[in-house]
Structure 1
């Protein structure tokens, strides 16, 4: 079932919606080790009374599947902070940049609506590079990197046009090429150590939403 309810800070002053795929739910790590939960915790440490995220995400989702899940979730609330991280499965399945651009643009617009039509309250994270993980050792890693870069260039352009913040966590994801402690036990996704770093990178943009 989705969306996943916010807890334990459900009565906090501010609310947070996290949209995405396996990276948002932290495939192969505990809930507390998701980057979204780290981010909420850091915001609270900065004096922002925010709940843990309501999460609409699932491993394997493309942009189209996330949008369909959002429609099926019947979410009607608005949120003070909305984050979006989506696109790796579009790349993995060989979908076109043109399709991604159209569907990603729609998702950004959806995220802005969830943020009470305040684009500055939406933070988009770049697609990490799964090509550096052990799972990709028998694949063309240079091709994966080039394609991830191309998808991220589209996302960055669309975020700029929409007036939402784009945070580039892709360089950090590539640390896993030299340090497998950044990789989860499934050898494909990332570990809590990596998600912790993504939260730190994202924190300034999230704090700015609340004037911090």
Structure 2
């Protein structure tokens, strides 16, 4: 029987402005298959612009399975972009994490949380009137919350924020979202944690 994978998120998970096969969840599945792992195509519940509460609403409307072997969660950039408070993010992220764990058959280690990339370093960010240092600081705060919540719950956490900062030139044509090449770097960073998660009973 093949493994089932649910990817929860926003524009970074749906792969705004890149081809479908360049989305990191799709690249991840292809990489796992090259390692002889039998896994279905990812079910992606994500949309550009979604905040934590909008992802929750999206999950309510999606046709979700009863259980998945792997669930990834990457959410929060739009909370920061809209100036939403960190404590609100903490509470809503915690709720999403609990839902993710329930969908992972109540196996926390089958949930992999991905950090939020830094949009401030992109060409779009450079043209923005926003203070890029403040963007970085706020995203670091959100990522600290996500990491702490994930580890406290027993889930896994992968930090790809450094990749987004080190490879700010690898962007899609919109000048904001990662290119397929940057998503490949994300996939390389995420794959070891996912392999461990799928090996957890």
Partner of 1:98: 87
Q: Secondary structure at the match of 2:90?
A: helix
Residue-by-residue CA offset, 1:32-58 (whole Å, 9 max, x unaligned): 000101111111112210111001000
Residue number in structure 2 paired with 1:167: 158
- Inter-partner Cα distance in structure 2 for 1:75 and 1:34: 20
In 2, the alpha carbon distance for the partners of 1:15 and 1:211 equals 13
CA gap 1:50/1:76 in 2 versus in 1, 3 angstroms: closer
From 135, 142, 145, the equivalent of 1:154 is: 145
Higher mean alpha-carbon deviation, 67-76 vs 155-164, is at 67-76
The superposition leaves residues 100-136 of structure 1 with CA deviations (integer Å, 9 ceiling, x where unpaired) of 0000000000000110110011001000000011111
In the alignment, structure 1 segments of 5+ residues that lack a partner are: 1-11
In the superposition, the TM-score normalised over structure 2's length comes to 0.95
Query: TM-score, normalising length from structure 1?
Result: 0.91
Q: Unmatched 5+ residue regions in structure 2?
A: none
Distance 1:36 1:76 in 2: 18
Q: Is the contact between residue 133 and residue 176 of structure 1 (CA under 8 Å) also seen in structure 2?
A: no
Q: Which residue in the other structure is 2:19 paired with?
A: 30
Q: What does residue range 102-117 of structure 1 map to in structure 2 within 5 Å? A: 102-117=91-106
Is contact 1:132-1:176 (8 Å) kept? no
Which stretches of structure 1, 4 residues or longer, exceed 3 Å deviation after superposition? none
Distance in 2, Cα, partners of 1:106 & 1:210: 23
- How many residues align? The count is 198
Please give the alpha-carbon distance, in whole angstroms, between the structure 1 residues aligned to 2:190 and 2:28: 7
- Note the 1:100-139 alignment, pairs <5 A: 100-137=89-126, 138=128, 139=130
